[in-house]
Structure 1
């Protein structure tokens, strides 16, 4: 009976993994279509000056109305996962609010990523599926007992798909050391099956809209004497920019806090800032996923100070969006900012550019997210594998050397 129960859990993991891949691709495809419509198709039919500012103001009105009538959606990754750890489920009654608000935020150019919305969507639907099964299965079974594990790893798989990193969810396995040997085997099975099924569906569906599986090609890395000498300074710079990002958030949230009861006005102010900066530096808009590919190709044609400026502005704009009610994920924007800053440093000093962007981005991301294992598993799929030792150092040194006592909780 135990084997039968594990078999049912295996099949359930395949099913939920496939649904996760379908939902992730569908959500990203809808956002891609609406974004293309707003920023490409309509402008071709209308010759209008200051289109970026106009569209971002309209987006501000829509986001503000969503915040006013729906509430603070989409919820952050931290909020959703905190709910799951407490209740072993993710509420699905307000999924439509998250979907509508997230599509408005992402389609109208916010410097934010889709992971916050997808965590709630995938986790909510996995919870609903588990509730449906439990209503049919009255007696205690392996499936009924461990169904929440599938919810957890469906969420991890969805985030992994966004960042094209199937190893991302393994961070949960490595971080949880209290489980018994049997539970570790069950979790490993569920994670592997759910992730594999999800990625297979996601990759197959991505052929429909020609979605690339790799985020960007940064080229080969070279590690010599200069790079070895520069490792610690580069890590320190990454931590410094993480501090700057936190400072932006602290200042902007305090400045806009008096407008908390005026959701539409606050969101329109966010839209105005987004439009103004987007007009001057279009590359700082959106999550940074597609812009990362552009940056990897065009950075040699930019000055060091422009690259540094783009990275700093990206961090500022991301926090301005979050502070003004444009809610979403900040992982992609942080990665983009780190890469831009890393390229700028490589132009100023004799250090390999790929090594520079890898160390700076890893240190910055780890300092902000405070999840070194997840950062390592994410970036071994993004940067050259030969830099794995530097990635591990850059991920862990900000945590264990500096302890980041200055850090306050972040919105993700």
Structure 2
């Protein structure tokens, strides 16, 4: 997540003085209600539209065409072919699309300043191709970037006195609310963003956007974020120890990926052409997918549910291998220039790691192992405490696990704090290959 959003000297909220430390009266917040509602609905509809198109293309690539050819859609050779072709297609998009389909994804966070609408068509195409082609990245980063750009571009035309802060907050909150199916995630994430003034004055309009975004998604497509895990039997003293150890193990796995990320990014940047760079990335992802199978492909949300239903059929080494392979696939996908987010693949890796712990030590409740592993990995990957804690709690919604999650967060945070983030600073990134 970006540390700061560009500021304008003019009032950036269309009447709500969010840049002042003085209390904001209700009369200044009320005019923000309508823009917040419209932004939340628009953010949700954009997410649904892009996900729907990607889903239809995914069905074509992995079900309809293989069925017509009389082959298994997840045959290792088909996986290798589709991921390689996806790399070629995304590479061509990055090469030829206006604005090269957005900035290098290795340099962007979940919430960043608005980009020009000029580059959105290429970003949308690249995102749809990656989601449908089985690339191990989620939709959250590019869709948030798209919604922020659209909200800022449209909003400034109807409220010309506003600056980026309002529209970044509204679009980010609406998108996060739509992604998680609840406004709580957006409120927690935005509460970590710096800013003067009363916290709830700053959250007022974004929370409305998050509510409308989440409600729109729930009403139109429902919420599929929860996985079915055997219920937690109740707190035991030994579970405190397991929470500490599993949370730390997740943080170490995530931190290993963080340290490897700059090397992977630099390696792919040595390839002199974006089409070749992404083709090689797709080829490597195809090989990883052929090794790991269907469960290790795509963003990971649907695959997490399948794994939760069948995890007892796998041994420790198979589950641990899935966790590591998914993290490697995330590194390759993000480092080679595919457009997408890192949260959903990291969640899959955490779930696989948690089930691996349960397979190795059956006395560790699977629900406890899964949520603590997710928490540790996300803390390392995102460096967002509230987001990591909330995501783990939502995946396995059991209030009895919350105190143990807080315990698990302590050693995990000590491991990741002060370490590098999984983000390449634009000043440190070599220019993307963009031949004429």
Q: Residue 345 of structure 1 corresponds to which residue in structure 2?
A: 357
Q: Residue 58 of structure 2 corresponds to which residue in structure 1?
A: 35
Q: Residue 141 of structure 1 corresponds to which residue in structure 2?
A: none
Specify the SS of the correspondent of 1:381. Answer: helix
Checking the alignment, whether the CA contact within 8 Å between 1:61 and 1:267 is kept in structure 2 is yes
Checking the alignment, whether the CA contact within 8 Å between 1:75 and 1:98 is kept in structure 2 is no
Checking the alignment, whether the CA contact within 8 Å between 1:366 and 1:396 is kept in structure 2 is no
Q: Measured at CA, do residues 226 and 276 of structure 1 come closer, stay the same or move farther in structure 2, by a change above 3 Å?
A: same
Query: Post-superposition shift, 1:177?
Result: 6.1
Q: Measured at CA, do residues 177 and 257 of structure 1 come closer, stay the same or move farther in structure 2, by a change above 3 Å?
A: closer
Structure 2 distance, partners of 1:326, 1:171, is 28
Does structure 1 residue 109 correspond to structure 2 residue 134?
A: yes
Does structure 1 residue 20 correspond to structure 2 residue 43?
A: yes
Structure 1 distance, partners of 2:288, 2:213, is 37
Q: Which runs of 5+ in 2 are unaligned?
A: 1-14, 16-24, 426-436
Q: Which runs of 5+ in 1 are unaligned?
A: 136-143
Count residues with an aligned counterpart.
392
Q: Residue 336 of structure 2 corresponds to which residue in structure 1?
A: 324
Does structure 1 residue 51 correspond to structure 2 residue 78?
A: yes
Does structure 1 residue 120 correspond to structure 2 residue 137?
A: no
Q: Residue 388 of structure 2 corresponds to which residue in structure 1?
A: 375
Checking the alignment, whether the CA contact within 8 Å between 2:174 and 2:210 is kept in structure 1 is yes
Checking the alignment, whether the CA contact within 8 Å between 1:215 and 1:382 is kept in structure 2 is yes
Q: Measured at CA, do residues 9 and 147 of structure 1 come closer, stay the same or move farther in structure 2, by a change above 3 Å?
A: farther
Query: Post-superposition shift, 1:180?
Result: 2.0
Task: Find 1:159's aligned residue among 172, 176, 195.
Answer: 176
Task: Find 2:279's aligned residue among 268, 284, 287.
Answer: 268
Structure 1 distance, partners of 2:107, 2:400, is 32
Specify the SS of the correspondent of 1:160. Answer: helix
Which segment is superposed worse, 8-17 or 402-411?
402-411
Residue by residue, what CA displacement relative to the aligned partner does 1:115-162 show, whole Å, maximum 9, x if unpaired?
111011111111122111035xxxxxxxx4577424313213312322
Q: Residue 317 of structure 2 corresponds to which residue in structure 1?
A: 305
Please give the TM-score of this superposition, normalised by the length of structure 2.
0.83
Query: Post-superposition shift, 1:80?
Result: 6.2
Does structure 1 residue 188 correspond to structure 2 residue 203?
A: yes
Residue by residue, what CA displacement relative to the aligned partner does 1:308-353 show, whole Å, maximum 9, x if unpaired?
0000000011111122222311111111001101110111112111
Larger proportion of helix = 1
Structure 1 distance, partners of 2:125, 2:322, is 30
Q: Measured at CA, do residues 188 and 258 of structure 1 come closer, stay the same or move farther in structure 2, by a change above 3 Å?
A: closer
Task: Find 1:73's aligned residue among 85, 102, 122.
Answer: 102
Task: Find 1:365's aligned residue among 378, 383, 408.
Answer: 378
Specify the SS of the correspondent of 1:195. Answer: helix
Q: Measured at CA, do residues 4 and 130 of structure 1 come closer, stay the same or move farther in structure 2, by a change above 3 Å?
A: same
Does structure 1 residue 215 correspond to structure 2 residue 238?
A: no
Task: Find 1:390's aligned residue among 388, 399, 404.
Answer: 404
Does structure 1 residue 9 correspond to structure 2 residue 22?
A: no
Residue by residue, what CA displacement relative to the aligned partner does 1:14-58 show, whole Å, maximum 9, x if unpaired?
111111121111111111111111111111111357222221221
Q: Measured at CA, do residues 122 and 204 of structure 1 come closer, stay the same or move farther in structure 2, by a change above 3 Å?
A: same
Specify the SS of the correspondent of 1:329. Answer: coil
Checking the alignment, whether the CA contact within 8 Å between 2:244 and 2:407 is kept in structure 1 is no
Checking the alignment, whether the CA contact within 8 Å between 1:165 and 1:377 is kept in structure 2 is no
